[in-house]
Amino acid sequence: MRPLLLCASLLALSAAPALAQGRRRTAAQPSAPRRRPASRVVPARTTPAPEVPEFESECPLRDGVFADAFQCDRYYECRDYVITEKLCPDGLVFNDISPTLGRCDQVFSVNCTGREELQEAQPTGDCPRQNGYYADPDPTNCGTFIHCVDGVSNRVECPSGLVFSLQMGTCQWPDQAGRTGCSSAEVLAFECPGAGDPRLAGAPADLPLHPRYADPADCQFFFSCLDGVVPRRHGCEQGRVFNDETKQCDKPENVPECNY
Ligand SMILES: *[C@@H]1O[C@H](CO)[C@@H](O)[C@H](O)[C@H]1NC(C)=O
């Protein structure tokens, strides 16, 4: 962690390498005039000061926001060549879209490669940081996540059969989320028959690419097996149940074995 009690001029100096990187992105634009703060270089004068003082700014542009080169949640704001160091709210990171559109954003929307440092986390309750989306503290709760806003947590359930993805920060199919302990087999308690599907033995060409199977636990649901092997659980729309004969969602009266 960088000390917090740096004086303003040191802050400006520490900004220099960051902005050197930020400048690369704006290389196509005309470079900002290099000026020098009057207080730094102009000695006390007896003669009247020039109308436009010599002035140097660390700002690559007169106005805009610029990413820090090392710390993903730190950025710099320039207003009329005056630079101010800023920190995103804990848990958010700076999205370096452009000098005008840059903003603090969810970590899943930003590539922090090369500037991985972050401010010290301020955890409260279930929130490891004040803002963001986090897996349930209990890793066996694959389909639950914690949404934190200013330190206030909200527990959210993924739609049935989905798993919170640590990479994407959203609910995804278990095979896409790829979390250990949260595989399709573990979450869905269902294994695709694969080569064990009797239809495969009889007429392989007839087997659909993603064959469907009834969910033995709930006839409103069914599994489709991606490429015959990876199960995904789907629900029929409200008021319909899965017909294992037709492999479609159907009216309950056509599926008497389901006590809907
Ligand atoms: C993130 O940025 C790095 C460096 O600029 C790049 O190599 C990498 O491919 C990017 N990753 C993603 C997911 O875009």
Categorize the per-residue pLDDT at 37 as very low, low, confident or very high, splitting at 50, 70 and 90.
very low
> Atom 3 (ligand 1): residue with closest C-alpha?
113
Residue type, 71: Q
Residue type, 16: A
pTM score over 0.75: no
Categorize the per-residue pLDDT at 194 as very low, low, confident or very high, splitting at 50, 70 and 90.
confident
Specify whether the CB–CB gap between 96 and 90 falls below 8 A: no
Question: Which domains does the chain carry?
Answer: 55-120 (2.170.140.10), 121-181 (2.170.140), 190-260 (2.170.140)
Asked whether residue 252 carries a pLDDT value surpassing 70, the answer given is: yes
The residue to mutate among 95, 113, 116, 167, having the most atoms of ligand 1 within 8 angstroms of its beta carbon, is 113
pLDDT value, residue 125: 94
32-38: Cβ within 8 A, 24+ apart: 32/57, 32/59, 32/60, 32/61, 32/62, 32/81, 35/81
- Compute CA distances 191 → 9, 141, 229, whole Å: 63, 20, 8
pLDDT value, residue 230: 87
Tokens of 102: 């840059």
Categorize the per-residue pLDDT at 257 as very low, low, confident or very high, splitting at 50, 70 and 90.
confident
Categorize the per-residue pLDDT at 195 as very low, low, confident or very high, splitting at 50, 70 and 90.
low
Tokens of 82: 């005056």
Give distance in angstroms: CA of 24 to centre of ligand 1. Answer: 16
Q: Picking from 136-140, 196-200, 247-251, which range would have the lowest pLDDT averaged per residue?
A: 196-200
Percent of the chain at pLDDT > 70 equals 73
Question: What phi and psi values does residue 108 have, to the nearest 5 degrees?
Answer: -75, -10
Residues 6+ apart with CB under 8 A from 243: 249, 250, 254, 255
Tokens of 212: 């469907």
If phi > 0 it is left, if psi is from -120 to 50 it is alpha, else beta; for residue 113 that is beta
**pLDDT, tens digit (0-9, with 9 covering 90-100), for 115-136:** 999 999 999 999 999 999 999 9
The binding-site residues of ligand 1, defined as CB within 6 angstroms of any ligand atom, are 111, 113-114
- Compute CA distances 234 → 37, 173, 220, 237, whole Å: 65, 10, 9, 10
Q: Identify the sign of the CA torsion 187, 193, 199, 200.
A: positive
Could you identify the atom of ligand 1 that is nearest to the CA of residue 111?
A: 1
The residue to mutate among 111, 115, 116, 167, having the most atoms of ligand 1 within 8 angstroms of its beta carbon, is 111
Categorize the per-residue pLDDT at 11 as very low, low, confident or very high, splitting at 50, 70 and 90.
very low
Could you identify the atom of ligand 1 that is nearest to the CA of residue 114?
A: 4
Mean pLDDT, all residues of the chain:
80
Asked whether residue 51 carries a pLDDT value surpassing 90, the answer given is: no
Neighbours of 90 (CB within 10 A): 22
**pLDDT, tens digit (0-9, with 9 covering 90-100), for 156-168:** 999 988 999 999 9
